[in-house]
Amino acid sequence: MDKFLIQGNGPLQGEVRASGAKNAALPILCAALLTDDTLAIHNLPHLWDVATTNRLLTQMGVAVTVAGQGEVEINARSITTCVAPYELVKTMRASILVLGPLLAKRGEAQVSLPGGCAIGARPVDLHLRGLEAMGAEIEVEGGFIKARAGRLQGARIVFDVVTVTGTENLLMAATLAEGQTVLENAACEPEVVDLAKCLIAMGAKIEGAGTSTIRVQGVANLHGATHSVIPDRIETGTFLIAGAITRGRVRVTQTDPGMLEAVLDKLRQAGAKVSIGADWIELDMLGRRPRAVDIHTTPHPGFPTDMQAQFMALDSVAEGVGTIRETIFENRFMHAQELMRLGAEINIEGNTAVVTGVERLSGAPVMATDLRASAALVLAALSADGETLVDRVYHIDRGYEHIEEKLRKLGGKIRRVTQ
Ligand code: EPZ
C-alpha cells in the first residue's frame, strides 16, 4: 500500500497546471451510454476514478478507445450487459451515474447499491425517486438496484436536498424521455453545467443548467460529439492552499477563476494576495502566516464541501480561531483526528469544528481516510516541522493527477514509498 513521505521544506513557489475535473469527467463518460454514435472526450485527468469508470463501461461491452493523452473515444453501440457489478461500484460510488443513461437508452439497468463511505451514508433515494417519477419500475434486492422502463416520461421533479449526481443522473435520463422534464432545486455546480454542455453538443435540448431549475425537452436520439472537460476547481483550490499554508507563492494555470469565487474570497480573508487572469490564479502570502477563517459549506455557488478539509489544515496553522461548519455530509471531519496527531488544536461539536491555530505543526505518521482528507494531510505535512508519513494514499490517487510531481515542481519535498 503506497504512502507519501513528506518533509516540511519552507514556502512553495512556482506554477502548476490544473487537470481536467474528476467530477465533470465521470458523468460525461457515462453520457456516452445515451447514443450509438461515438463520444470523444478530451482533457480527461489520469485518475483511478476515471480508469474505474472506463473499466465499468468496458465490462458492459462498451468500446472505450484511448485516442491520446487524456483523450478517449467511447461507443456504446456494442453494449452487451446493463449491469454495474458490486466489485466496481464498491470502489467508486459515482458508478451510480450509469443508471439514468442505461434506463433512458436501453430500458433496463442493474446497479449495485453504492454503500456508504467514510464521509457519510450517502443514500441514492432521490435518484431512484426521480426515475420512478419518470415511469421507471425500480426494486432494490440483494444489494442491487434493479430498474426497468419503457420510454421514460418527462416529469416535474423537486429534489428534497441539492444532489449533484442526482441532478446529473436525472438530467441524462431526461434527454431521451418523452416530453418535458423540469428539475427543481437542482445542483448548480460547474460540473453539472459541463455535463449539460456535452449533452447539448450531442443534440439534447436543455435550458437552465447552472441554475436551480433545469428544463429538458426529450428527443428521440442523441448523436456523437467531441467535448473537452473543464478544469478541476477543487484541485485548483488545493494547490492554492499549498501555497497559503507554506506562506509561499503559487500560480495555477489552465483553470477558471469563475468556478471558485467563494474559495478565493476565503483565501483573501486569510490574508493572501490573490490575482486572477482569464485562465490562471496566483496566490501570494507575502511570507506571512495565514489568518484563521470561518467556513460554512453549502451547495454551489456557496463554499464547496470538497474544500472543507483543506481549509481545516490551513486554519490549523493560522493566527486566531476558525470555525468550520459542514452542512453537506454528516461525517466529514475524519481528517481532524489525523491533523491533531500533527499538533493541531481542534474541537469538534456535532457538525462544527473549532480550530485554534498553532504556529507550527510537527510531522508524524498519519492515515488518509477519504479523498479530500488525504489532500488536507498532505498540505499540513508540507508546512510541518520534520517528517510525515501519510498512509493509504490510494484515496488521493482517486482524485489528484500526479500530485507528488506537481508538488515537487513547487519545491515540496514529497515522495511515494511502497511498503
Ligand atoms: C458529489 O457527490 C461529488 N462527487 C462529491 O465529491 C461532492 O462532495 C458532493 O457532490 C457534494 O458537492 C461527484 O460528483 C462524483 P450529493 P454526490 O448527492 O453527488 C444527500 C469528491 O471529493 N443525498 O450532492 O454523491 C447526501 O447524503 C466527492 O470529489 C440524499 O440524501 O453528493 C448528502 O448529504 C466527495 N439522497 C447531500 O445529499 C440522495 O439521493 C449531497 O450529496 C442523494 C444525496
- 80-103 pLDDT, tens digit per residue, is 999 999 999 999 999 999 999 999
Q: Cα(93) to centroid of ligand 1, in Å?
A: 10
Is the pTM of the predicted complex or chain greater than 0.95? yes
Atom of ligand 1 nearest to the CA of 234: 29
Question: From the CB of 386, is ligand 1 less than 6 Å away?
Answer: no
Name which residue sits closest to atom 44 of ligand 1, judged by CA. 163
Give the span between the Cα atoms of 120 and 373, in whole angstroms.
13
Q: Tell me whether residue 117 is one of the annotated catalytic residues.
A: yes
Question: From the CB of 167, is ligand 1 less than 6 Å away?
Answer: no
Q: How many CB atoms lie within 10 A of CB 181?
A: 26
pLDDT the model gives residue 122: 82
Q: What percent of the chain has pLDDT over 70?
A: 100
Name which residue sits closest to atom 30 of ligand 1, judged by CA. 123
DSSP 349: E
The residue whose CB lies within 8 Å of the most ligand 1 atoms, and thus the one to mutate among 212, 328, 398, 403, is 328
DSSP 237-303: HHHHHHHHHTT-EEEEES--GGG-HHHHHHHHHTT-EEEE-SSEEEEE-TTPPPBP--EEB-STTSB
Question: From the CB of 166, is ligand 1 less than 6 Å away?
Answer: yes
Q: Cα(239) to centroid of ligand 1, in Å?
A: 22
pLDDT at 115 over 80: no
Give the span between the Cα atoms of 402 and 149, in whole angstroms.
41
Active-site option among 30, 117, 188, 198: 117
All 3 cell numbers of residue 208?
437552465
Nearest to 166 by CA among 100, 259, 234: 100
Name residue 395's amino acid.
Answer: H
pLDDT at 419 over 90: no
Q: Please give the average per-residue pLDDT across 142-165, as a whole number.
A: 97
Question: From the CB of 170, is ligand 1 less than 6 Å away?
Answer: no
In which region does residue 216 sit, left (phi positive, over 0), alpha (psi from -120 to 50) or beta (all else)? beta
